Amino acid sequence: MNTRLTLLLTFSLLWTSCQPAPTPPPSTATGAATEQPTRTLTAAPPATASATASPAPTSGRSAAFTSVENAVESRPAETDAYAPASVGVTFPIGGQARTGEDGRARLDLSPDGTIIRIVPNTIFTLPALEEKDDAPFTKIKLFIGQIFIILSGGELEVETPSGVAAVRGSMMGVSYDPADGTMTATCLEGHCNLRNESGSLDLTAGQAADIRGGIISREPRAITDAELGDWFEFTPELDGLRDRLPESLNLRDRIPTREPRPTRRPKPLP
């Protein structure tokens, strides 16, 4: 009897364990994950740079010839051909000009009003005409000859193969002879500087300095009468600026009253 009961219970347990588990009802809880329909994503087109680059900022400064006498030529760049210069023509950054044996010219910088006088047998370029520390900055490369600067604010540098002459708010003349590399700076008013790899020398009104054989003067010297004569000869504006010259240096009395120059026939450039 006990044996039959035991077998019956065992058989019932085995039968129950073989039945499949009931399927649970679908969940209705809020936030349950549900299968989303499949969709194809379209990639956004890549961003493209603007085809037109922003123009470089400019200082608003310009240079133009306001006086041309006899043989004077200019060109927009050193690789271009020379053409006769004329009054009112803009002299571009990177432009080059040359004067003949009897040629001379005046170049005005705007809007600051700086005046550059170019003497005969001179070649130069204008590599920089910009703003530096919120003030006008101009750079000239002088290959041969002489220029005189009447600066109206800011700074101007004249570079030659021998050195650099700089003037700030005053008057300076620079000459360069490529035959022997001699460079001379004359400071007629204000503060000037002459420098190269051998040293640097500050100049004040009435002083001058030279670079000879690559060596700069040890100390400033006085402007000679001949150098003052060049200022008088090639810078007619000086007649109206005598009051700016310091009385203690007797510069104004050493500059004679201007006399009219004789008219000469221009000689063409080679």
Tell whether the model's pLDDT for residue 46 goes beyond 50: no
Per-residue pLDDT tens digits for 139-197: 999 999 999 999 998 999 999 999 999 999 789 999 999 999 999 999 999 999 999 99
Per-residue pLDDT tens digits for 254-270: 765 555 555 455 566 66
Tokens 């009961």 locate to 5
For the chain, the average pLDDT equals 80
Which residues are paired to 156 by β-bridges?
138, 167
Q: Compute the average pLDDT of residues 97-106.
A: 97
Residue ranges of the domains in the chain?
62-254
Fold classified for 62-254: Jelly Rolls (2.60.120)
Give CA–CA dist 158/140, Å, rounded.
Answer: 5
pLDDT higher at 79 or 248: 79
Tell whether the model's pLDDT for residue 6 goes beyond 80: no
Tell whether the model's pLDDT for residue 33 goes beyond 60: no
Cβ neighbours for 175, distance < 8 A, ≥ 6 positions apart: 145, 146, 182, 183, 184
Q: Please give the pLDDT value at position 131.
A: 84
Tell whether the model's pLDDT for residue 32 goes beyond 60: no
Give CA–CA dist 189/246, Å, rounded.
Answer: 8
Per-residue pLDDT tens digits for 107-130: 999 999 999 999 999 999 999 998
